[in-house]
Structure 1
């Protein structure tokens, strides 16, 4: 009986087996019931009757009606006598987004305080990372006084040139100390006298270290 209702004969491409099912949408509402376990079951004498070629009791709404419900807005129709007739929306309008709502009291003050704290932290980090000289030199005149460079721009160009190898620089005081230690540790060479050179004008004795 179900095969006849389906209008489909069995053949190579269609075989009725224990695993063949029909969707519950093809039955009447009264033919489908729920078991205590929540499963859908069909009455034994039920026959599927809702198909594309059959006339359904409830027709699908027109695209205009479906669009009206989906948009959730008021629609004005023009009646036959030319008067406007207002139709209420079938569904409630969608609520505004959360960014349109007003912030709670005190939220703006807390945000401003947080911004001030972050800006202060950035200033502290910038002060630590920048060269120590910039703590004292804030103008071209200061740079000329402390560095003998004519301007901050010239000093910055010089600093960018030597910064990659700045870790290899040796201060003059350290170089002097290292030089003195090297000289003191070195063994002095024996002194030898050169023969006296007699000249008609001068008489010199030259010693070589």
Structure 2
């Protein structure tokens, strides 16, 4: 309701958050009250209504009337009598707060272009930082072809299980090489021959190490 009252729809350049506030000057006097601690608070059912485009019930007094109230005498009579009246320097008034003003021309297009550039940069960084496997396996069929796992989920579960000890894994080729070297360095046990077994079909000689 407040968003509609201030005529500011949410978009790329404006988001309503917990830190979004509306000045108390936009509410009726009865809607604002002071807490015992001296803080200004607004009633829950209050709606901001005082804006530059809204028709205010009470019109601003003329400069003569405001000066009369401030000085305690009619300034027009003083001016007619020739007495000098010291007036405060004119200060340019701001029509409303910055969220009441429209963005300059072209600001929206520039913001949209900037958003597109940032999104493209995020996509490039995501592509660089993602694992190499993700560049080739984008579907369950790819995972079955390259990894022999039935799906990406099964592969992810397997990888999560072995990842803590992945640094100590030994490739099969290295294990084979280590095994061959270990066998060659080991002292062979004495060989003994077993009796020849004869049958009607084959003749085999079995040796046990």
Class of the TM-score when normalised by the shorter of the 2 chains: 0.3 to 0.5
What's the C-alpha RMSD, in Å, of the aligned pairs?
Answer: 22.2
Question: Which structure: larger Rg?
Answer: 1
- Give the C-alpha shift of residue 72 in structure 1: 20
Q: Determine if contact 1:76/1:87 at 8 Å carries over to the other structure.
A: no
Match of 2:168 in 1: 168
Distance 1:86 1:171, change over 3 A: farther
Cα displacement string for residues 56-90 of structure 1 (whole angstroms, at most 9, x for unaligned residues): 99999999999999999999999999999999999
Query: Matches of 1:124 and 1:9 in 2, distance apart?
Result: 32
Please list every run of 5 or more consecutive structure 1 residues that lacks an aligned counterpart in the other structure.
Answer: none
The 1:87/1:163 distance shift into structure 2, 3 A limit, reads farther
Change (3 A) 1:57 1:176: closer
Moved more, 147-156 or 25-34: 25-34
Larger relative contact order (Cα-Cα within 8 Å, sequence gap ≥ 6) = 2
> When the two structures are superposed, what TM-score results if normalisation uses the length of structure 2?
0.42
Q: Tell me if structure 2 keeps the 8 A contact 1:5–1:47.
A: yes
Per-residue CA shift, 1:9-29, capped at 9, x if unaligned?
999999999999999999999
State the shift of 1:98 in Å. Answer: 1.9
Matches of 2:99 and 2:108 in 1, distance apart? 14
How many Å separate the matches in 2 of 1:146 and 1:12? 42
Whether 1:207 and 2:207 are equivalent positions in the alignment is yes
- For structure 2, the 5+ residue unaligned runs are none
Deviations 1:163-206 (A, max 9, x none): 22222222223333343444556666676889999999999987
Q: Find the counterpart in structure 1 of residue 86 from structure 2.
A: 86
- Cα gap change, 1:84/1:152 in structure 2, threshold over 3 Å: closer, same or farther? farther
Instruction: Report if aligned partners of 1:77, 1:86 keep a CA contact under 8 Å in 2.
Output: no
Aligned to 2:95: 95
